[in-house]
Amino acid sequence: MDTIFALATAQGKAGVAVVRISGPRAFAVAEEFCDLPPAREARVRSLNAPGSGFLDRALVLVFPEGESFTGEPVVEFHLHGSRAVIQAVLRALGQVAGARMAEPGEFTRRALENGRLDLTQVEALADLIDAETEAQRVQAVRVLEGRLSGVVDGWRADLIRAAALLEAVIDFADEEVPEDVSPEVEELLEGVGGSMRRELSGFESAERIRDGFEVAIVGAPNVGKSTLLNMLAGREAAITSDVAGTTRDVIEVRMDLDGLPVTLLDTAGLRDTDDLVEGLGIERARKRAVAADLRIVLLAPGQTHDLPLWDGDIRLRAKVDRDDGQRNGISGKTGFGVERLLEKLTETLSKRVANSGLIIRERQRAALEEAVVGLDRAGRLVEFGPDRYDLAAEELRNAIRRLESLIGRIDVETLLDEIFASFCLGK
Amino acid sequence: MKHRFDVVVVGGGHAGTEAAHAAARVGARTALITLRADAIGVMSCNPAIGGLGKGHLVREIDAMDGVMGRVADRAGIQFRLLNRRKGPAVQGPRAQSDRKIYRTEMQRETLQQPNLTVVEGEAVDFLMKNDTVSGVVLADGSEVSAGAVVLTTGTFLRGVIHIGDQSRPGGRMGDAPSVKMAERIDDFGLGLGRLKTGTPPRLDGRTINWEVLEDQPGDEDPVMFSFLHKTPFVRQVACAITHTNAQTHDIIRENLDRSAMYGGHIEGVGPRYCPSIEDKIVRFAGKNSHQVFLEPEGLDDTTVYPNGISTSLPVEVQQDYVRSITGLERVDITQPGYAIEYDYVDPRALDARLAVKTVPGLFLAGQINGTTGYEEAAAQGLVAGLNAAHVALDRESVMFSRSDSYIGVMVDDLITRGVSEPYRMFTSRAEFRLSLRADNADQRLTPKGIDLGIVGDKRRQVFENKMNRLTAGRDRVTEVSFTPQQIQKVGVAVNKDGSRRSGYALLAFPDFGFRELEMLNPDLGDMDVEIKQQLEREALYANYIERQSRDVQALRKDENLAIPPMFSYASIDGLSNELRAKLEKIQPGNLGQAARIDGMTPAALTLLLAKIRQSQRKKQA
């Protein structure tokens, strides 16, 4: 049985964050950070990460086997609720041998298996587990896919191709498939591995750790996006004029919404254009808008748009200077509706903070790190040629499984689809 | 007339014979009902056994003392170990068979098998005791009663044969389809689907110009299927290879609308890995030549099976395109190729014993479950036959797991995911491929067979002897250890970390084999070759298998959590309607199977587990 850990309290800004470690090696893992207090007695301890020094002054609690939430030996670190601290502790835990981050629902399952929970309690927890699973999926898609626009899709396609090539050579050895696919597979694995490494270094650097949200204002030219931005930001950041297509690039304004750091993006008006420069601006605007955390879509009467929208995105009727008896009107010029928009933004983004991507990002980082190691191993084995495709395929399969929450499931049917599409097989 | 047996097996194909033998080995009085006793062991498609994944299945059947491997060895006229140069986990034994010897040997095995009676006749109906199947009725009105019935009717369920625009009912060439049985299956309300498969025209080998063709000889050191055999039994021959060409493709393209497939006469779904020549030419228009393997059907049989050009074109077009191929310019067709369409039962109606969940006493095996291939059929026959006997004799179910066998992988795939095209085994279907090897099928399954009492004395002795030698060999290799300096002297690069490495650990290095080990310690040279090879194979994967062991444990734990039959999913709050519907349709037999259902979430699994726990507690209380 693995020893697992995770943040046990709701994520986001809170005074205290509890990290729970559970499993046969829980005590040994925790002892890498501090001396453990006697069972069931709270003590303040300095947590030091093995190798990297002081993390936090924390309250530490030890629950022996049979007397914990899961029924297993459990240690809890009650940390100061700062994202940086939580992240550092989770990362340090992930580097201790024999411990890994818990899957959604894993604590609950262990508790259940050890007879610590009954059906009603599980039913109450099920929503939470589902929310966590769903949040991961959504985050994986939005934080990464949106942000990296297509990079993740590329990884998926390349990994399917690489695995399918190896499996085709293995499973259709007596048919008309190439005998040696090493060059193409190596290239694919190096490409994906390199791209993942670049993402990982991005994870580390400060500017990529998003402590704020991006909110994009989108709509047709001259619908009043820049005016609204100026109103929201309280200064003339974007050039506004009556000539459609004034904003040719993406303008960013940082603001603070009720304590939440928010970056407002004023984007080029979306329309068909022959102007090359404006066209580039529009393309850029679309990409940024899709990648943003939230979109405010401004529509004049009769206008439509073709941007994909997600839950929480806001649609407003533009240039409604005063109350006209209908809902969702706004005007950057008179300020009508701005107050309500700010309330709505604050509400939506605060909710998101509660489910923010911290844990998810940490899990994805761990998955990416493991996958990169696996892809490297697979690549080295592939260099030896078909003799070691059995081992290379195993390493690759393992790496793909680690990435499942990120790139989606790739099973044997996915590979067979690729194989039958690529090769004419069949005696 | 009334007869009484423990188990009745309907059908004498590969699934039927293996099922009947398995039931009889368990000790159940078994009847094998077939239209013609002299058709037992007929290979209706290509004259070959084994291949990748398939060869694994044959080894597993053999490990439990089944018949397919032994018979295939006796009939083998050309043996090839596929992927010989790749790792042992992906090597698959394959052999061309002499059709006649295969049939004769299978019939001989069947007549010799104690507890097994062959009954000639057509099963037209089931005997029912309330809702339970308690035997079959034959066409002549006689009744054969039994504790369990295994149905292995292959393509006979509403089979239709197509050649060009001609079609007629038929199971395979020359046999009548079982319409009555199909109607009976309808009454059970099982989900039915339609599949198709095809065969190429058969050629008269005396009219082939062999001189101009490239030979494909068998292996120099042939590898047998059965763990009991070392060498082939009959003379070995070569196959030949030729290719289609632009002219062949033109002829086919011009006549596409006359093909049953492309003329819109066929609605069934065919296998993507076994396309007709029409399919190949349409789907891969850029490829101007395809391989054709000319496989002799027997030592004293002039018929040749041209593997790679199955078709449903009219006879005269078949003749034209075949004669456009090098070496076949003057060839005579002895039997035209045809496509066959047939009904199959959605295997999600079955449990892991291959028993129909809603019809007690009835088991299904083989093509009727949507699979293709002799080996897939026989492996299912083994599972169904064993379990039918255990039902009849009131014993516990016999289960196979994805973690112990390809048999377990196949059964789980079928009953959990169903089929969308004829199901064929591939090694890539087995997630524990590195441990489920053809070379260790005996180590994985023979102990289980011994426990079940279905392994004969001879095999038991051979197995135990091998295990003793293997254990002793493993101990010797593990006990010796060497310094990095010593190891480097035999040309293998290791870290100079000063630590000694055991012989077994060294064998895990891909470039370190027994040859190197003997250079370091010549004493080890006295071990026999079989054991040396086996130690090399298992040591090579030891680190990977170690890594997988946690997954295997987790899987087995979930598999041990049985979900009671007719479990009520309606009473679980928090399951989505979609998931609830899937669970109700598939009725997974255990938590492991439930976990593999498409769209299953961690929360739903936890809920399911809690609910199972609750119902277990109620039962105990």
Do A390 and B87 lie within an 8 Å CB cutoff? yes
- Tell me, yes or no, if B603 comes closer than 8 A to chain A by beta carbon: yes
Task: Using DSSP, state whether B373 is helix, strand or coil.
Answer: coil
Residues 363-392, chain B: which have Cβ within 8 Å of A? Answer: none
Nearest-Cα residue of chain B relative to residue A117: B610
| CB within 8 Å: A176 and B291 | yes
- Predicted confidence at residue A128, as pLDDT, reads 65
Inter-chain touch A390–B284, beta carbons under 8 Å = no
Residue A334 has pLDDT above 90, yes or no: no
Q: Nearest-CA neighbor of A106 among A5, A257, A10, A35?
A: A5
What is the reported pLDDT for A204? 47
Report chain A residues whose CB lies below 8 A from the CB of B433: 390, 393-394
Contacts with B274 from chain A: Cβ below 8 Å: 426-427
**Interval A343-366 mean pLDDT:** 67
- In this predicted structure, the answer to whether residue B120 has a pLDDT above a threshold of 50 is yes
Mean of pLDDT values over B527-536 = 94
**Nearest CB to A123: which of B94, B426, B574?**
B574
Q: How far is A104 from chain B (nearest CA, A)?
A: 7
Strand partners, A47: A56
State yes or no: pLDDT of A123 exceeds 90: no
Closest C-alpha to B66, from B371, B466, B405: B405
HSE-CB for B31 with a 13 A CA cutoff = 26
Is A412 near chain B, with CB under 8 Å?
A: yes
State mean pLDDT over B503-516.
90
Q: Using an 8 Å CB-CB cutoff, list chain A residues near B438.
A: none
CATH code of the region B457-546: 1.10.10
Mean pLDDT confidence for A379-390: 94
Expressed in angstroms, the distance from the first to the final Cα of chain A is 46
From the CB of residue B206, how many other CB atoms can be counted at a distance below 10 Å? 11
Question: Which of B86, B273, B610 lies closest to A389 in CB terms?
Answer: B86
CA distance B298 to B96: 9
Query: Å from A116 to nearest chain B CA?
Result: 11
Average pLDDT over residues B167-178: 66
* Coil, helix or strand at residue A111: helix
Whether the CB of A370 is below 8 Å from some CB of chain B: the reply is no
Q: What is the CATH number of domain A144-205+365-422?
A: 1.20.120.430
Contacts of B603 in chain A (CB under 8 A): 104-105, 125-127, 129-130, 133
Name the architecture of domain A3-117.
2-Layer Sandwich (3.30)
Contact B162, B20 (CB under 8 A): no
pLDDT tens digits along B339-373? 999 989 999 999 999 999 999 999 999 999 999 99
Instruction: Report the pLDDT value the prediction gives residue A130, as an integer from 0 to 100.
Output: 63
Select the residue of A105, A387, A398 nearest B85 (Cβ to Cβ): A387
The number of beta carbons lying within 10 Å of the beta carbon of residue A121 is 14
Concatenating the DSSP letter of every residue in A159-180 gives HHHHHHHHHHHHHTTTSSS-S-
Chain A interface, best mutation among B78, B80, B82, B90, by max A CB count within 10 A: B90
DSSP B119-188: EES-EEEEEEETTEEEEEEETTS-EEE-SEEEE--GGGTT-EEEETTEEEE-SSTT----HHHHHHHHHT
Q: Is A415 within 8 Å of B433 when comparing Cβ atoms?
A: no
Reported confidence tier of residue A424, pLDDT bands at 50, 70, 90? confident
Confidence band for B572, pLDDT divided at 50, 70 and 90 = confident
pLDDT of residue B69: 98
Q: Is domain B202-338 classified as CATH 2.40.30.260?
A: yes
Q: Taking Cα atoms as reference points, which of B217, B155, B280 lies closest to residue A426?
A: B280
Higher pLDDT pick, A142 / B515: B515
Query: pLDDT band for position A306 (50/70/90)?
Result: confident
Q: What is the pLDDT of residue B87?
A: 94
User: Which numeric CATH code is attached to A213-336?
Assistant: 3.40.50.300
Interchain contact A427–B (C-beta under 8 A): yes
Q: Check CB contact of A112 with chain B, cutoff 8 Å.
A: yes
pLDDT tops 80 at residue B486: yes
Nearest C-alpha in B relative to A121? B610
Q: Coil, helix or strand for B543?
A: helix
CATH superfamily of B561-620: GidA associated domain, C-terminal subdomain (1.10.150.570)
Chain A residues 147-206 with CB within 8 Å of chain B: 167, 170-176
Report CB contact under 8 Å: A130, B601: yes
**A4 or A325: which carries more pLDDT confidence?**
A4
**B299 or B553, higher pLDDT:** B299
CB atoms B574 and A103 under 8 Å = no
- Cβ contact (<8 Å) for B602 and A173? no
CB contact under 8 A, B86 and A412: no
**pLDDT tens, residue by residue, B1-53:** 678 999 999 999 999 999 999 999 999 999 999 999 999 999 988 999 999 99
Give the distance from residue B390's alpha carbon to the nearest chain A alpha carbon, in angstroms: 32
Local confidence band at B172 (pLDDT 50, 70, 90 cut-offs): low
Question: Min CA distance, B426 vs chain A (Å)?
Answer: 6
Q: Which residues of A touch B422 (CB under 8 A)?
A: none
From residue B553, how far is each of A28, A102, A164, B130 by CA, in Å? 23, 18, 28, 41
Which of B116-125, B243-252, B541-550 is predicted with the least confidence, judged by mean pLDDT? B541-550
- Closest listed residue to residue B55, CA positions, set B226, B198, B216: B226
Mean pLDDT value across residues A45-56 = 86
Question: What is the domain partition of chain A in residue ranges?
Answer: 3-117, 144-205+365-422, 213-336
Q: Under an 8 A CB cutoff, do A170 and B272 touch?
A: no
Nearest to B18, CA basis, from B106, B121, B148, B96: B106
From-to residues of CATH 2.40.30.260 in chain B:
202-338
Cβ distance of B280 and A426 shorter than 8 Å: yes
Chain A touched by B84 (CB under 8 Å): no
DSSP SS3 for A355: coil
Preferred mutation among B433, B600, B606, B616 to probe A, highest tally of A CBs within 10 A: B606
* The amino acid at B436: L
Residues of A (113-152) whose Cβ lies below 8 Å from B: 113, 117-119, 122-123, 125-127, 129-130, 133
Task: Judge: A112–B431 Cβ closer than 8 Å, yes or no.
Answer: no
Write the pLDDT tens digit of every residue in A157-215: 999 999 999 999 999 998 888 889 999 999 999 999 998 887 776 554 433 334 567 88
A235 vs A9: which has the higher pLDDT:
A9
Cα of A135 to nearest chain B Cα, Å: 13
Closest chain A residue by Cα to residue B291: A176
Contact A390 B613 (CB under 8 A): no
| Chain A: residue whose CA lies nearest to B284 | A424
Q: Best residue in A171, A182, A418, A420 to probe B by mutation, most B CBs within 10 Å?
A: A171
- CB contact residues (below 8 A), chain B span 398-437, against chain A: 426-429, 431, 433-434
CB contact under 8 A, B293 and A389: no
User: What is the predicted pLDDT for the residue at A133?
Assistant: 57
- Cα separation of A417 and A397, whole Å? 16
Residue B615: the pLDDT is 77
Residue A73: the pLDDT is 96
* A interface test, pick of B242, B273, B402 with most A CB neighbours within 10 Å: B273
CB atoms B610 and A426 under 8 Å: no
Average pLDDT estimate for B140-147: 95
A326-335, B102-111, B213-222, B413-422: which range is least confident on average? Answer: A326-335
B578 CB neighbour count, 10 Å cutoff: 10
Residues 540..579 of B with a Cβ closer than 8 Å to A: which?
544, 547, 550, 573-574
Q: ipTM of this predicted complex? A: 0.92
Q: How far apart are the CA of B274 and the nearest CA of chain A, in angstroms? A: 4
For A246-274, write each residue's pLDDT tens digit: 555 677 777 777 666 678 888 767 666 77
